[in-house]
Structure 1
Amino acid sequence: MCKDLKSHTLHLQRVVNHFTTEQIASNRLQLKASIFIVRYLAFQAIAFRGQDESFSSLNRGNFFESLAKLKKAIREEIGDAKFCIMVGEAHDESMKEQMAVVFRYIDAEGFVKDQFLGLIHVVDTAALILKKGIYSLLSQHYLDIQNIRGQGYDGANNMRGMWNGLQALILNDCPYAYYIHCFAHRLQLALVKASKQVNPISGFFLTLLFLIKIVNASCKRNEQLKVANANEIARLIDLEELKTGSELNQIDTLQQPVETCWSSHFRSVSSLLRMFTPTLEVLQNIIDDAILGEHRAEA
């Protein structure tokens, strides 16, 4: 396993080193364009959303219409070239399942580019539904399915399944759309598997998950955590133990680790360290206010 981790790490480092200054600048430009649109609409008090944001709408609202110009430029750059698709799925804060689609292709100057082209809401994560969503996106941008030369997903069964997985369904339609398991996802799975073999580490994250479950179990507790966090920040500022400035000392929340996201475990532990005192206060409130012994015992 150590050998696999080393090889994956070296591969990821080679990928990072391969990025050119032009590619990095291009990615930053796209991000800045999205931020510019958001800031412009906000400062001008212009509504983001439209009355009808469906793909068939003639006016999907100011934000989507502005982003459409970016997507048009990406589509023109792809042209009739071959491309690969990289897809990730996750649910958002409103518990809607979202599928992000990124296209990898070589531009006219010979540079490899990764461009985000769409976020698709899907009602289910079944392979057929995911395939339908991807094909719909391709159709909207007049991209030929037969030009797909690669697929990159995580290792979930609905994605990689040999017979009924998304990669198999697309491969049936396009025999050159070879599937590659996401290397970052492989590394994450290896790390999670290794950590579960060490009892103290495994026990720590089980306790962390249990703690987050208790504190985030209701809107009331979330609100208590925010208030306690704000009070703790104010106290530390008064003691001059925290720096003040733009975008510093934001009201935070506990982050739950996710096995398929390699950096989420670090964020989860960091969030608990930042909010340790407010978390203890919420737990004490649960003990004091609980009517049923179950919640009191858990806290």
Structure 2
Amino acid sequence: MNCETLMNQDEHIQSVLHKQSKKMRNDYRIRLNASIDCIRVLLRQGHSFRGHDETESSLNPGNFLIQLEFLGAHNKEINDVVLKNAPKNCKLTSPDIQKDIVSACVTETINIIIGDVGDSLFSILVDESRDVSTKEQIYNLSMSKLRGQGFDGASNMQDKFNGLKALILKKNPCAFYIHCFAHQLQLALIAVAKKNLPISNFFRVVGDVLNVVGASCKSSDLLREKHSDFIVEALERGELSSGRGLNQETTLQRAGDTRWWSHYNSLISLISMFSAVIDVLEIIFRR
């Protein structure tokens, strides 16, 4: 019997280990490709990856995990090896893994751009800090071929001595600079709005309300509590729809001085939490 067992290579311990290792490698490849596919979609659409709460009980764990869950729900082969069905030490969903895959995508994209540009003249449009821009965004392209540069009016970009504009011009005086037209439009909208007294007063009042309600951690916690109570009551009355990703707003967004769209987002967040804001203001007034 021992002889027959020894002669049966399929039962040999090395054969069993080899089969298991082959399956593990195959599962790993499927799991990795699934994560890569999800990240490629998010990068192409310019969406965020992370969620505020990425636990298994979270209703909105973030775009990456939602995308991976969706992919598994429509492919049994993938579903069998990802998320809950993946080994705890090899889920390939951690922030570090996501960053590694993104870095690999960046490298491939840069190589394609460099290949396409070749020896041609080119311009750059940058929206980053000085260090990141000079070391990462220029891709090792030939500075002698650079003929145009464009970005917003931030000091780290346009500073006469240490701004990105000055650093590039020192290396190549032919790199003509153009202030980003989109940013100029933003600044024009802000300037016009400030000259209009009703609009200016309106946004001043909105800013004062946000400052009062968010003046302390206690007030912020009270705002979240009141808003949560409002959501529960509205759901019970059927005034709000329930579902994944809905009714997640729990903070008020502040408007920026040079970003018109931030004023819009600030108003949207204030409207969605208006009832809770009024309750908090009344409590603060009675103190």
Flag the 1:27–1:245 CA change in 2: closer, same or farther, 3 A.
Answer: closer
Q: Higher helix proportion, which one?
A: 2
Pick from 143, 146, 152 the counterpart of residue 145 of structure 1: 143
**Aligned match of 1:84:** 123
The 1:65/1:195 distance shift into structure 2, 3 A limit, reads same
Distance change (3 Å), C-alpha of 1:272 and 1:160: same
Which residues in structure 2 correspond to 1:1-299 (within 5 Å)?
30-31=44-45, 38-39=64-65, 40=68, 43=83, 45-46=91-92, 48-49=94-95, 61-79=96-114, 81=117, 82-88=121-127, 99=129, 130=130, 132-137=131-136, 141-162=139-160, 165-289=163-287
Secondary structure of 1:263's aligned partner: helix
Displacement of 1:241 in angstroms is: 1.3
- What is the alpha-carbon distance in structure 1 between the residues aligned to residue 137 and residue 271 of structure 2? 44
How far the C-alpha of 1:37 sits from its partner, in A, is 9.4
- Gap change, CA 1:243 and 1:188, over 3 Å in 2: same
Aligned residue identity for 1:73: E
Note if contact 1:37-1:66 (Cα within 8 Å) is conserved in structure 2.
no
Aligned to 1:102: none
Unaligned runs of 5+ in 1: 1-25, 50-60, 90-98, 100-129, 290-299
Seen in structure 2, the aligned counterparts of structure 1 residues 154 and 243 have a Cα distance that, compared at 3 Å, is: same
Q: TM-score with structure 2 length normalisation?
A: 0.64
Change (3 A) 1:148 1:228: farther
C-alpha spacing 1:241/1:261, structure 2 compared with 1 (3 Å): same
Distance 1:34 1:84, change over 3 A: farther
Q: Mind listing any 5+ residue stretches in structure 2 that lack a counterpart?
A: 1-39, 50-61, 70-81
Contact 2:213-2:220 at 8 Å conserved across structures = yes
TM-align CA RMSD = 3.1
Deviations 1:135-192 (Å, cap 9, x if unpaired)? 22258x5444334333222123442345554312211212232222111111111111
- CA gap of 1:77–1:84, structure 2 versus 1, over 3 A, is same
Contact 1:184 1:262 in 2 (8 A): no
Q: Secondary structure at the match of 2:229?
A: helix
Determine if contact 1:83/1:149 at 8 Å carries over to the other structure. Answer: yes
* Partner of residue 21, structure 2: none
CA contact 1:47–1:62 (8 Å) conserved in 2:
yes
Cα distance, 1:255–1:167 mapped onto 2, change above 3 Å? same
- What are the Cα deviations for residues 232-260 of structure 1, in whole angstroms up to 9, with x where unaligned? 11111112111222211113311111132
Structure 2 equivalent of residue 54 of structure 1: none
Equivalent residue letter for 2:249: I
Task: Specify the code of the residue in structure 2 equivalent to 1:247.
Answer: G
Assess, with a 3 A threshold, how the Cα gap between structure 1 residues 217 and 146 changes in structure 2: closer, same or farther.
farther
Q: For residue 179 of structure 1, give the secondary structure of its aligned residue in structure 2.
A: strand
Cα 1:163–1:67, aligned 2, differ >3 Å: closer, same or farther? closer
Hey, what's the Cα distance between the residues in 2 that align with 1:213 and 1:84? Answer: 42
Counterpart residue number, 2:36: none
Letter in 2 for 1:75: I
Task: Sort the Cα spacing of 1:164 and 1:79 in 2 relative to 1 into closer, same or farther, 3 A.
Answer: closer
Distance 2:257 2:235 in 1: 35
Higher strand share: 1
TM-score normalized with structure 1 length: 0.61
Residue type matched to 2:134 in 1? Y
Larger Rg: 2
Identity percentage of aligned residues:
34
